[in-house]
Amino acid sequence: MPLSISREAPGTQFLSRRRLFPFVAALLVPALAACLGVALIVLHIPVLYVLGGVVGAILAGFALLNPLWSFYLLAATFSAESLLGFTSGLTATKLLGGLTIFSWLIAVLMGREFRPPRAAVLFVAPAFLLWGLVSLLAVERLSLGIGKLTTIALLLVLVFVTASVVRSRRDAERLAWVLLITTLISVQYGILHYSVGASASLEGLSKSRNSIGLFIAMCVPLVVYFYARSRLPVRICLIAVGAMLLLGEVLSYSRGGFILFLTALLLSFLLLARGSRVRLGLQMAALVMLSFYAVPDNYMTRLKTIVPSVETGTDTMGLRYQLWGISVRMIRDHPILGVGPGNYLQQFMRYGGTIGLRRTPLVAHNSYLSVSVELGLVGGALFIIIILVSLLTFLSVRRRALACGDHSLAHLSSSFAISLVLFAICGTKGSLEDFKYLWMLFGLSAAMAGILARQEPAAAPLSPQ
């Protein structure tokens, strides 16, 4: 459903689109001219930087007119957090996040219908934040606790913004294209760096081989979804994209990424293949076999270490076992409130000394343990409930959409459900509880429920039950 301004009586809207354009132009045009003059004449800023700033300002202006556009720009940074060379402080994601929230508020003032749908995850997620406020009673350093709760609050805003601005299947498909294209760009960047010897493995714009491995795996169901709905020319392009993603997964040397990639292929075959499972299965197998001609010799050697490292605790798995043991001891000592939000690393300096890790504070490398350590078992349970409720909502949308004959919406919901499953699996070996992509998926589950509810006006609001 296209975004539209609500039809209200004249004078009832705080701002109308007709009044907004002259108002914005009267303010921005003189201000932009003044800034250009100061930048070029007084500050002597290079012309290239000034040009980039102008382009960025124009894009920001367009994004402000529609929160969905700024939301697409925000989503494009999720697989490229290090695009500007740093991941802390004022990053590109934080800038675009603020722009998205601001444009969302402007749209609300203009009277647009951006009410979030009634979905279970939108009730459970705020409870997670409220319990974090309760856990502040256990913090040792209040400043760290407030900082972590601020992060959770911003992620919660992302959930509501996602649920509000994605209002049609076309909106969701465009978001899927944004995620697929940005991940492909990140992979190509990583391949270039790897080919010239600038890195020992493919890391992409995320600067982490495990992260890029996860993002690549989550693109698999999106490729399969668009492949099943496209004609021959687009299918040929998608086959090339699939081969590029598989090559990126191989060159990342991420054992976890390889497992996630195979899981994504299997789930995509089961949920998205429709009536052509045999044909699609053969095409997937052919793509995998052809791509293995580009596999480095030492990649298969690394894959053979997966089972021994898990069984014997060698390599990085051994370190993870130690970190998980520390987390379990913290939970035993602080089962209800936890050690307080943001205070895991503060407590790690004490508990890690027993195994010689006092001077090397590390994250838990397990999302569920990490949340349970900081927010107690109640917080950990709420985090798991958010994941389960979102997954059940995706699957409920799939079931009801198939019953209504809307196979496109059903398979798109299945694609997002597979991405959430991959996140849930990866969370067992990595601290991903603050990943914006994950919380966007929570919001997408509510958005998909709202899309289906608007297609069924007489139906009751959708819930996982």
Query: Are 366 and 429 within 8 A, CB to CB?
Result: yes
Q: What's the pLDDT tens digit per position in 264-312?
A: 988 888 887 665 555 666 666 666 655 555 566 676 667 667 667 766 6
Distance in angstroms (rounded) separating the CA atoms of residues 270 and 282 = 14
pTM for the whole structure: 0.81
342, amino acid identity: G
Distance in angstroms (rounded) separating the CA atoms of residues 358 and 182 = 39
Predicted pLDDT of residue 178: 92
Query: Are 160 and 116 within 8 A, CB to CB?
Result: yes
Tokens of 388: 């389960």
Predicted pLDDT of residue 10: 39
Comparing CA positions, the residue from 22, 178, 14, 181 lying closest to residue 96 is: 178
For residue 463, give the 3-state DSSP assignment. coil
Tokens of 56: 């960025």
Comparing CA positions, the residue from 172, 204, 179 lying closest to residue 190 is: 204
- The strand pairing partners of 5, in sequence order, are 112
CB atoms within 10 A of CB 62: 13
Query: Are 303 and 255 within 8 A, CB to CB?
Result: yes
- Provide the greatest CA pair distance for the chain: 72
Torsional sign, CA 327, 333, 336, 341? negative
Comparing CA positions, the residue from 395, 389, 402 lying closest to residue 455 is: 402
Q: What's the pLDDT tens digit per position in 376-386?
A: 999 999 999 99
Predicted pLDDT of residue 1: 39
Regions of the chain with pLDDT less than 50 = 1-18, 82-88, 358, 458-462
Q: What's the pLDDT tens digit per position in 320-336?
A: 888 888 899 999 999 99
Comparing CA positions, the residue from 454, 457, 465 lying closest to residue 163 is: 454
For residue 422, give the 3-state DSSP assignment. helix
